[in-house]
Structures are given as structure tokens and as C-alpha cells.
């Protein structure tokens, strides 16, 4: 009994001594640790808002229209600006991409610091770095800096836009006004899908002349977009490879422009047009004669519409150029009723070398896959026939191409 | 080298007995974090052993382990508070590693040394604990360095350009930790000292 009591007393004594020591040290160390924690947090915030000293976290529940990507907003106490904490993901993210973005009192990005990024293929530092100094218009975003990491960079850019949206919606930072040219440029991909790749404008800027303020040539080769002076205002003029045009105002509504402007856009296009190779049609249909067809109203991924005659019958050849995992050109021949008579493609998905390099296509029987399209009409588009196992991006592109060619057929043939 | 000191090297707690494998794996993703963890464990081991040596007459055999746990836990908390307050750069240098430092309080490595301490005098305890702690530190730093080189092509944060194209991300994951620890332990088994006279006499 005495031994048990002694042992208990010894253990109790040890507990008491260490408890007292911990209590004493905690009393001294705790405030210092709190200060260190605060300095550490402030330090991270001050990195993206140089000159910032103390920050106050705003209660997001009291703010309105806060996008889901905005996880916190810190206000610099001397009104030097704000630091926004953001978290976003792209469709191929291994985990959330989180970052801090400082916005100075003038509404310009003062700094960006990535705090968590787990992708195996990371976007280069140049991409976030080149956003510093830009305002809410994000007028000078250069997606070429994100080559190979387009999905992540797009999610990143959208999160940056969300941060500005949250700040301006709550009157914290004034929204910068976009120029008409920028508004029109941003409208272009939604009006002419072939100008975009993965949702971003994918174009080459050409040297301008006359009334053309901005000339963009689709990298896919489906057409052109021009911002043109129309008196006191600016308009967006789209021209496809068939030299058909459409014009839009800053409000996004289709408008009519003087014939002289149309001709100027057409002439500019002729001078910069790259001819689409139609030789594939001959291999798809023996004895086919191919002539350029009407492309009025076709502003999608369709690069060309052709009239084909073979074996005494008339067909319509349509070529779609777009991006799946890589650039693709897909050829379709439709019969007079709008049913696919033949489909083929070159580049990427049907090249033997790609089958070897990309295991995902190893199980794809090319002949069977192509034959799966024959007889398909706009009303019988079958996802299972288009799907390529383990090749989501290419499958999605094939689906887009197929839908676009049916839409083009309907447009040029009047819904036959 | 005395019998017990020889034993510290010969049985290399981290690599041969695999004591303290938890911090060795959790805290050795880089060489620098391994140094931090090793130094922390060395300090806790030394302080716990010295305290247990001083309490030698008071702590009965039955409560030796319980007392060691209380003392080790107490020192771990005290050290963590002190480092957090006065060495913040060191404390925050490795992100979540701070959480794993608590695991040192329940490391069998510390208890083993504390148990020896109750059998030895003060001087011997200090010498043994220092030696065991340094052995652990060296072991974990080697594991950390190997994992950092293989996983990130850097060592102590310095880039090794020739390794850049040959990194194995798995090396810095828990599985990689097991593999590297096993490899380092295998090498240590091959090269460990075996010509210690005292050991030969009966260690």
C-alpha cells in the first residue's frame, strides 16, 4: 500500500512540476507565439501588397456577390488596398490551387503569391507574374504564357477576375472600364467558336490597316475577327473562310455596317487566307469532284463547306478544325438528306505514331470508329459512337465537330 | 568506447531497432526538416534521460515507463512552446511538421534512453543520450537527404541540376519514406562497427 502511495505521489509530483513549468512558460511564450503567428500571416499578405502593415479580415457573410473562389478578403488598415485569398480548380486538378492576390488602392494587381499548387505539370511562374500591374479589365492577359497548362491557367485567370468582381461588387475597388476594342475582342469567341481553344481566344494578331483597328486570325484556320472603326463607334466583324461576314456592336447584338467596311474586311481576309486542303475528300469518296460551297452564316469550328459530286450523286463536304488533345482536322461528307456518308480525320487521332505514344487510343479500331459515323444525322447523333475510351478531350472535340457540321449543313442547306 | 556507448552505435536505434521510425518517416521529407526533427528529438531525449537519472532513487521499476512518458511529454510541450516563441523561423520552416513534433513525446526511442538513464549515473546518461541522439540525427538526416535528392533533386534546398530529370516524387511520400529508411538501414547494417572490444565481451 505504501509503495502504491509512494509511486502515485512520485507520478503526481512529476505531473505537477511539469504542469507548473508549462503554465509558466505558456504565460510568457503564448503572447509571443500569437505575435509570431500574426506576423507570419501579415507577412504573407504584405508580400502581395507591398507597403501593407496590418490587415483586417472582412466578414464575407456581410458582403454581397462573393464568388465561390473567393475564400477571404483582407483590408489593409491604412487603405493601401486589399488582399484576396482564392481557391480554384480546373478539370484536371489534383487538388485546389490556392493563391493570394493583392489589389492596390488604384485597382491594380500589386502581387500574386501561390500558396498551394499540386499539379504535376505546373504553369510557369511567368503566367501569374505577367498579371501583376493589370487592372480589372485584364486586358493584357497572354495565354501563350500558359502553353501546356491551359486549363489551370484559365481557372487561375477566372479566379483573378472573380477577385475583382468581389471587390467591385462591394464597392471596395472601382471597376476599370474596358475599351470598346477589348469588349469586342472578348465577344469574339462566343460568336465564332472556332476562334477559341478551351474557351480562350486562340488567335494570331495581324498587322492592321485602314479602318481595321485589330485583326485576329484563328490559329485553327477557320476564319478571322476584326475590330473596325465604324464612324464614331467600333464594331466586331467576323469573316469565315467562305468570305461570309457578320458584324456585331459593343452590346453583342448583330448589326449592319456599310458595304465599304464589309469589302475592306473581305479584301483583308483574302490577303491573309490560308487555303484549306480538301484532298482528303477524294480518298474518302472515289471519283469525288470538290468545289467550294456556300458558307453564309457558318461561324463555328467549320473551316470549309464544299459541294461534292460522285457517282452521279450530290454530297456536301464539311471540314471542322478544332483542338482536342491537340489540333485536329475532321472531314465529313453528308448526303443530300444530311446523313453522314463518310467521316475521316488526319492529325493526331488517326496517326499510327499517336496510337503508339498515347496508350488511350491503343484499343481504338480506326475503321470501325469511322464507320460508326456513317448514317448518323443531326437527330441521331450518338455519343457512344463518338466516344473514344480514355481520350476525353479528343472525344469532346469530335462531339463538337459533329454537332458543328450538322449545324452548318442546316444553315447552308436550309434544314434539309 | 564503453559497452553501453558501443551499444548505442552498434544497435543504432533508428536504423537497426527502428525505434523512432515515426518521426524518421514523417519528418524526413527533406534534409533540413530531418535536422530540425533530429535536433528536437535529441534535446527531448537528453533532457528526459537526465531528469530520469536524477529521479533514479525515487522512481520505482513499476512506474519507470509512466514517469518517462510524463517527463518526455512535459519536455516536448515545453520545448515546442520555447521554440515557437523564440525560434519562429525554425519552428515554421517546415509547415505542418510542427504537428509531427508532438509525436516525439511518445517515441519509444526516448523511453529506451530514459530507461537506461535510471540504470546509469548522471555522466554516463548524458554521454549515452548524446551519442544515441546524434546517431538518430545522422540517420534521419541521411534518410531526409536521400528522399530530398530523389524526390526533388535538391539537398538542403540546393538544386542538383544533374538529378532534375530523374526525380521520383514517391520518395517524398510515406511509401518512399519506408523504402528509403529500409535502404539506409540495410547499408547501416553492412557498415556498422563490429570491432568494439567491450561489445565482444558481452554487450
Can you give the residue ranges of every domain in chain A?
55-169, 180-272, 279-413
Gyration radius (Cα) of chain B, Å = 18
pLDDT at B169: 81
Is the separation of the CB atoms in A344 and A370 below 8 Å? yes
Q: Determine contact: A3 vs chain B, CB below 8 A.
A: yes
Mark out chain B residues that contact chain A at CB-CB < 8 A.
Answer: 55, 58-60, 62-63, 66-67, 70-71, 73-75, 77-78, 81-82, 84-86, 88, 91-92, 169
Q: Per-residue pLDDT tens for B3-15?
A: 555 555 555 555 5
Q: How far separated are the first and last CA of chain A, in Å rounded?
A: 103
pLDDT at B202: 42
Check A10 against B73: CB less than 8 A apart: no
Q: Which distant-in-sequence residues (6+ apart) come within 8 Å of A412 by Cβ?
A: A293, A294, A295, A296, A297, A298, A305, A316
pLDDT at A176: 84
Cell output for A111: 502581387
Gyration radius (Cα) of chain A, Å = 30
Query: Bigger pLDDT: B101 or A65?
Result: A65
Q: Determine contact: A14 vs chain B, CB below 8 A.
A: yes
What is the topology classification, in CATH, of domain A180-272? Arylsulfatase, C-terminal domain (3.30.1120)
3-state helix, strand, coil in chain A (%, to 5): 40, 25, 35
Check A32 against B82: CB less than 8 A apart: no
Which of A303, A328, A327 lies closest to A317, judged by CA?
A: A303
Residue B174 has phi, psi (to 5 degrees) of: -55, -40
CA B52, distance to chain mean position in Å, is 19
Tell me the count of A-B CB pairs closer than 8 A: 61
CA A228, A321, A366 angle in degrees (round to 5)? 175
Best residue of B51, B61, B63 to probe chain A, by most A CBs closer than 10 Å: B63
Instruction: Give the C-alpha separation, A299 to A302, whole Å.
Output: 7
pLDDT at A245: 96
pLDDT at B200: 47
Is the separation of the CB atoms in A165 and A137 below 8 Å? no
Where helices occur in chain B by DSSP H, the ranges are 3-10, 21-26, 31-54, 64-86, 88-92, 97-101, 108-117, 122-152, 174-191, 197-200
Instruction: Give the C-alpha separation, B52 to B118, whole Å.
Output: 6
3-state secondary structure of A179: coil
For residue A392, how many C-alpha atoms fall within 13 Å in the half-sphere facing its CB? 3
Burial of A17 (0-12, 13-18, 19+ CB in 10 A): middle
Q: Determine contact: A94 vs chain B, CB below 8 A.
A: no
The stretch B109-125 carries a mean pLDDT of: 81
Burial of B61 (0-12, 13-18, 19+ CB in 10 A): exposed
Q: Per-residue pLDDT tens for A17-32?
A: 999 999 999 999 999 9
Poorest-confidence range of A53-57, B12-16, B76-80, B99-103?
A: B12-16
pLDDT at A352: 52
Provide the shortest C-alpha distance from residue A84 to chain B (in Å). Answer: 21
Contacts of A21 in chain B (CB under 8 A): 74, 78
Check A36 against B66: CB less than 8 A apart: no
Is the separation of the CB atoms in A222 and A238 below 8 Å? no
Contacts of B58 in chain A (CB under 8 A): 10
pLDDT at A326: 78
Nearest CA in chain A to B88: A36
Please list the rounded mean pLDDT of every run of 10 residues in chain A (416 residues).
86 94 94 83 86 89 93 92 91 78 94 80 82 89 79 89 94 88 92 88 91 94 95 94 95 94 95 91 91 94 95 94 85 94 76 50 72 91 80 86 95 74
Check B78 against A18: CB less than 8 A apart: yes
Amino acid at each position: 500500500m505504501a509503495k502504491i502511495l509512494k509511486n502515485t505521489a512520485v507520478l503526481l509530483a512529476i505531473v505537477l512540476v511539469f504542469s507548473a513549468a508549462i503554465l509558466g512558460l505558456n504565460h510568457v511564450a503564448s503572447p509571443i507565439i500569437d505575435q509570431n503567428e500574426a506576423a507570419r500571416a501579415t507577412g504573407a499578405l504584405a508580400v502581395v501588397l507591398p507597403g501593407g502593415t496590418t490587415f483586417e479580415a472582412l466578414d464575407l457573410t456581410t458582403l454581397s456577390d462573393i464568388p465561390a473562389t473567393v475564400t477571404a478578403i483582407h483590408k489593409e488598415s491604412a487603405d493601401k488596398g486589399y488582399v484576396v485569398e482564392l481557391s480554384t480548380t480546373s478539370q484536371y486538378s489534383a487538388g485546389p490551387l490556392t493563391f493570394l492576390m493583392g489589389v492596390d488602392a488604384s485597382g491594380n494587381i500589386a502581387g500574386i503569391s501561390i500558396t498551394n499548387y499540386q499539379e504535376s505539370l505546373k504553369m510557369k511562374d511567368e503566367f501569374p507574374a505577367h498579371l501583376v500591374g493589370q487592372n480589372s479589365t485584364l486586358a493584357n492577359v497572354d495565354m501563350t504564357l500558359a502553353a501546356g497548362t491551359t486549363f489551370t491557367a484559365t481557372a487561375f485567370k477566372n479566379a483573378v477576375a472573380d477577385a475583382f468582381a468581389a471587390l467591385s461588387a462591394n464597392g471596395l475597388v472601382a471597376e476599370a472600364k474596358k475599351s470598346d476594342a477589348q469588349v469586342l475582342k472578348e465577344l469574339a469567341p462566343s460568336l465564332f467558336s472556332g476562334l477559341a481553344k478551351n474557351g480562350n481566344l486562340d488567335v494570331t494578331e495581324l498587322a492592321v490597316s485602314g479602318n481595321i483597328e485589330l485583326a485576329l486570325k484563328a490559329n485553327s484556320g477557320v476564319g478571322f475577327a476584326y475590330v473596325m472603326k465604324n464612324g464614331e463607334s467600333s464594331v466586331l466583324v467576323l469573316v469565315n473562310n467562305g468570305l461570309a461576314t457578320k458584324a456585331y456592336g459593343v452590346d453583342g447584338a448583330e448589326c449592319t455596317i456599310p458595304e465599304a467596311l464589309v469589302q475592306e474586311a473581305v479584301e483583308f481576309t483574302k490577303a491573309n487566307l490560308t487555303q484549306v486542303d480538301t484532298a482528303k475528300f477524294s480518298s474518302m469518296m472515289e471519283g469525288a469532284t470538290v468545289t467550294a460551297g456556300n458558307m453564309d452564316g457558318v461561324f463555328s469550328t467549320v473551316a470549309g463547306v464544299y459541294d461534292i459530286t460522285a457517282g452521279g450523286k450530290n454530297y456536301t463536304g464539311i471540314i471542322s478544325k478544332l483542338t482536342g488533345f491537340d489540333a485536329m482536322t475532321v472531314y465529313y461528307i453528308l448526303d443530300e438528306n444530311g446523313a453522314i456518308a463518310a467521316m475521316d480525320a488526319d492529325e493526331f487521332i488517326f496517326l499510327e505514331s499517336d496510337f503508339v505514344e498515347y496508350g488511350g487510343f491503343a484499343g481504338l479500331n480506326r475503321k470501325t470508329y469511322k464507320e460508326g459515323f456513317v448514317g448518323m444525322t443531326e437527330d441521331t447523333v450518338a455519343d457512344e459512337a463518338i466516344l473514344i475510351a480514355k481520350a476525353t478531350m479528343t472525344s469532346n472535340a469530335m462531339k463538337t465537330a459533329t454537332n458543328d457540321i450538322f449545324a452548318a449543313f442546316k444553315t447552308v442547306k436550309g434544314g434539309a | 568506447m564503453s559497452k553501453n556507448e558501443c551499444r548505442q552505435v552498434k544497435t543504432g536505434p533508428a536504423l537497426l531497432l527502428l525505434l523512432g521510425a515515426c518521426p524518421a518517416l514523417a519528418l524526413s521529407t527533406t534534409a533540413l526538416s530531418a535536422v530540425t526533427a533530429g535536433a528536437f528529438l535529441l534535446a527531448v531525449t537528453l533532457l528526459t534521460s537526465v531528469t530520469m537519472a536524477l529521479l533514479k532513487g525515487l522512481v520505482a521499476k513499476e512506474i519507470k515507463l509512466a514517469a518517462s512518458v510524463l517527463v518526455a511529454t512535459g519536455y516536448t510541450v515545453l520545448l515546442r512552446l520555447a521554440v515557437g516563441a523564440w525560434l519562429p523561423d525554425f519552428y515554421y520552416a517546415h509547415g505542418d511538421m510542427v504537428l509531427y513534433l508532438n509525436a516525439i513525446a511518445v517515441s519509444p526511442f526516448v523511453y529506451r534512453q530514459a530507461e537506461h538513464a535510471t540504470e546509469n549515473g548522471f555522466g554516463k546518461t548524458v554521454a549515452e543520450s548524446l551519442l544515441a541522439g546524434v546517431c538518430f540525427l545522422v540517420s534521419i538526416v541521411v534518410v531526409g537527404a536521400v528522399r530530398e535528392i530523389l524526390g526533388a533533386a535538391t539537398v538542403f534546398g540546393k538544386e542538383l541540376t544533374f538529378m532534375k530529370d530523374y526525380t521520383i516524387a514517391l520518395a517524398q511520400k510515406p511509401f518512399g519514406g519506408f523504402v528509403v529508411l529500409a535502404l539506409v538501414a540495410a547499408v547501416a547494417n553492412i557498415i556498422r562497427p563490429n570491432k568494439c572490444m567491450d561489445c565482444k565481451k558481452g554487450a
